[in-house]
């Protein structure tokens, strides 16, 4: 029973990392997507370069750079916070592409209609384009949360007490390798399977809605 409680505590930390990095990726991804949609050619080029670099870097490398790099300057960043920042920033590069693809589903005529009634470019984006594009961005963004739940275990590499870190400690102390691994798998299945099904239902509803309009 103690093993289960310890792993549940680790699962809570894992969820916190996943939720925190997911929220950060949603905000940064939207910012990058908005700059790409509204910005000048130079701004779009910068966004493209940032997204390309972040998508090319392994998340563990970014985590090491953030955690140990900042530490080299005498700043102490808690490992869990470092994991949230590293995973959130790297995932934002992918999330920005989800937004960009969704924004492309809005026809130019909708933008022209917004401009014709006197809206500024940002007003057109906020009031006309974004509300129509968001439903198409939601399913992949929800899927990204499921992915973040899995990669959150990378936080163990810098000592964050998430589920993998606790599992490794338990296996070393108790020697109960099979039991610990089985519980970890069961916890992940219990979390990710319902989420995956919910995302699937949402995708089908959005697809049906888009075909009916």
Measured CA to CA, the distance from residue 39 to residue 147 in angstroms comes to: 30
Average pLDDT over the chain, rounded to an integer: 89
Q: Which class is domain 2-212?
A: mainly alpha
According to the model, what pLDDT value does residue 208 have?
Answer: 67
Give the pTM. 0.89
According to the model, what pLDDT value does residue 79 have?
Answer: 93
| 12-16, 108-112, 145-149: least confident range | 108-112
SS3 sequence of 29-77: HHHHHHHHHHCCHHHHHHHHHHHHHHHHCCHHHHHHHHHHHHHCCCCCC
Closest CA to 1 of 164, 170, 153: 170
Q: What is the pLDDT of residues 60-77, one digit of tens each?
A: 999 999 898 887 777 788
Say yes or no to pLDDT of 185 above 90: yes
Q: Name the more confident of 47 and 205.
A: 47
């Amino acid at each position: 029973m103690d093993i289960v409680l310890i792993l549940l505590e680790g699962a809570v930390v894992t969820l916190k990392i996943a939720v925190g990095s997911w929220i950060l990726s949603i905000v940064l991804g939207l910012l990058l997507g908005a700059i790409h949609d509204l910005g000048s050619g130079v701004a779009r080029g910068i966004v493209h370069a940032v997204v390309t670099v972040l998508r090319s870097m392994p998340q563990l490398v970014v985590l090491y750079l953030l955690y140990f790099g900042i530490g080299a300057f005498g700043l102490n960043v808690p490992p869990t916070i470092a994991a949230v920042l590293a995973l959130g920033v790297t995932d934002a590069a992918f999330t920005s592409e989800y937004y960009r693809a969704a924004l492309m589903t809005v026809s130019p005529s909708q933008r022209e209609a917004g401009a014709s009634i006197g809206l500024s470019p940002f007003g057109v984006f906020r009031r006309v384009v974004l509300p129509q594009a968001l439903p198409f961005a939601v399913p992949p963004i929800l899927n990204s949360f499921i992915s973040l739940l899995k990669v959150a275990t990378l936080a163990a590499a810098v000592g964050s007490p998430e589920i993998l870190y606790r599992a490794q400690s338990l296996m070393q102390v108790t020697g109960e390798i099979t039991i610990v691994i089985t519980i970890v798998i069961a916890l992940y299945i219990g979390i990710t399977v319902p989420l995956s099904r919910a995302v699937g239902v949402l995708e089908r509803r959005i697809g049906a809605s888009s075909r009916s309009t």
